[in-house]
Amino acid sequence: MIVQGSIVDIQNRQIFKGEIEVENGKIKAVRKSNHSVENYILPGFVDAHIHIESSMLVPSEFAKIAVVHGTVATVSDPHEIANVLGVKGVDFMIENGKKVPLKFNFGAPSCVPATSFESAGAIIDSQDIQLMMENPDIKYLAEMMNYPGVLFDDEEVLKKIKHAKNNNKPIDGHAPGLRGNDITKYIAAGISTDHECFTYKEALEKLQKGMKVIIREGSAAKNFDALIDLLPEHFENMLFCSDDKHPDDLLLGHINQLCERAVAKGIDVFKVLQAACVNPVKHYKLDVGLLQKDDFADFIVVEDLEKFKVLETYINGELVAKNGNSFVKSVAFEVLNNFNTDYKTISDFRFESDAKKIRVIEALDGELVTNQITVDSLIENGNLVSNTATDVLKMTVVNRYKNDEPAIAFIKNFGIKEGAIASSVGHDSHNIIAVGVSDEAICKAVNLIIKNKGGICAVNQSEEKIVSLPVAGIMSDLSAEEIGKSYAALDAMAKQMGSKLRAPYMSLSFMALLVIPSLKLSDKGLFDGEKFEFTSLDFS
């Protein structure tokens, strides 16, 4: 097979008219050639850090859409399913991913459970990590979110890091806001990347100290604008990722969108493509071709080097997508889950108090970090309730793995004026999380999730909608087109109910993510992410 076009040789910083000869899945030759083809041939895009589960799609269905956008490989952290099902969940992701051409590169989740301050469905300890690191299907140790464990020399954390080093596999980081001596020690432990930088200065310090910084632009967390100006000088040590990509967003684009935005800012196209295509392959030692002789034939054909409209995607020499059509086929798989809690009653969501002021989580649109604020309480019949006038709403996290009392807190900026929204996608342990205007609405939403053994939903007095997620309570067994359409309708309903957030369900899912400061809620209670300890809701 021969493919012609203008060949983009990123590593040698040149573009020339030529052709690629492919034989047995590899590139037999790259040569100059006179022809009239105006398209460009370049290595395929690689998402340098993503939780496939957050697309609400199993890997095989994710692949069907990603290849259309020129993605040939991902560096995938199966942390989400691991918190539900443990090593069995990781094995599911690996085996499902093997059934399609896209090159999924899974890591060993380093933090299951993410903290001891929440209830997860499984535990992956250092002995499990040792076995996983010896598995050739495991490419790296996934994000070390327990940065306090690194800083305070936690024995179990250090064992996990040691097993990765012993197997010569990279160690991913997760250290939002970590600076100074703390980040120096964190890097010295062997941690080589971070995708959690949310300011220019933070990312610059990490780059200067030898870390690779991954620019993240997902459905909720969007750090492209804050960090992209670092790329021209630091392109050899920067990568692109989505981290979490909801299905409706994935249908629109992937890493190709970041390339388009970066080039539109005037950044040299070779530097942009170095971050999008080359750096992930070299850092993680991936079996992904870079358009060189004898490489795997993993490449894409694009219309131009401005919009990066993908015309064709090849993986191991196989044409897997053309002109927006995917040739990746759906595959059969076993549906696994772990949902063991009973229906709740309205009284379960009461919070008896006479406090005049309460601590409130302030959600920030497009950010995973939150603020901790103090507001006047609203009490009815001794029960703390939502105040729609001030947009301070009651929220809950309900343990999905056993019957337990729901945890209660309050949150600002969700904007809902009626009903409630809920989800069993609640990072990191994936308990049920809900926000609503009344205890009745919250209870109704939570029970709808329980009835379906997982999903995301919206309810009000006249309507209820749910996208069921039967696979581990976090993924669908449907196609991206089906789930994307249903999700978009649900997103629209949440916004019709008053939410002003760009991605209310993605934002909701992170309100239980304790490892991101400053105030979050787990199924065990309100948590101060800066002090790394539980705190009280009221001040009395």
Q: 474: closest CA among 108, 129, 110, 82?
A: 82
**The pLDDT value given to residue 295:** 98
Query: Residue 38's CB: how many other CB atoms inside 10 A?
Result: 10
CA angle 47, 53, 56 (to 5 degrees): 110
- pLDDT-derived band at 351 (thresholds 50, 70, 90) equals very high
**The pLDDT value given to residue 506:** 86
Peptide bond into 113 cis (omega under 30): yes
- pLDDT-derived band at 137 (thresholds 50, 70, 90) equals very high
**The pLDDT value given to residue 515:** 83
Q: What is the pTM of this model?
A: 0.93
- pLDDT-derived band at 540 (thresholds 50, 70, 90) equals low
Q: Where are the domains of the chain?
A: 44-287, 346-534
Is pLDDT at 490 greater than 90 in this prediction? Answer: yes
CA angle 228, 229, 235 (to 5 degrees): 75
- pLDDT-derived band at 516 (thresholds 50, 70, 90) equals confident
How many alpha carbons fall within 13 Å on the CB side of residue 2?
10
For 366-412, the pLDDT digits (tens) are 888 899 999 999 999 999 999 999 999 999 999 999 999 999 999 99
Residue 461 burial class via C-beta count within 10 angstroms: exposed 0-12, middle 13-18, buried 19 and up: exposed
**The pLDDT value given to residue 195:** 97
Is pLDDT at 3 greater than 90 in this prediction? Answer: yes
Q: What span, in angstroms and rounded, lies between the C-alpha atoms of 441 and 336?
A: 29
Q: 15: closest CA among 2, 5, 25, 26?
A: 5
- pLDDT-derived band at 219 (thresholds 50, 70, 90) equals confident
User: Is residue 56 a contact partner of residue 467, using CB atoms and an 8 Å limit?
Assistant: yes
Average pLDDT over residues 152-175: 97
Q: What span, in angstroms and rounded, lies between the C-alpha atoms of 18 and 33?
A: 4
Q: What span, in angstroms and rounded, lies between the C-alpha atoms of 393 and 375?
A: 11
Looking at the domain covering 44-287, what would its CATH class be?
Answer: alpha beta
- Higher pLDDT among residues 343 and 539, named by residue: 343
**What is the maximum span of the chain, computed from C-alpha positions, in angstroms?**
82
- pLDDT-derived band at 220 (thresholds 50, 70, 90) equals confident
Q: Which helix (H) or strand (E) holds 214?
A: strand 212-216
- pLDDT-derived band at 208 (thresholds 50, 70, 90) equals very high
- The whole-angstrom distance between residue 215's C-alpha and the CA centroid of its chain comes to 13
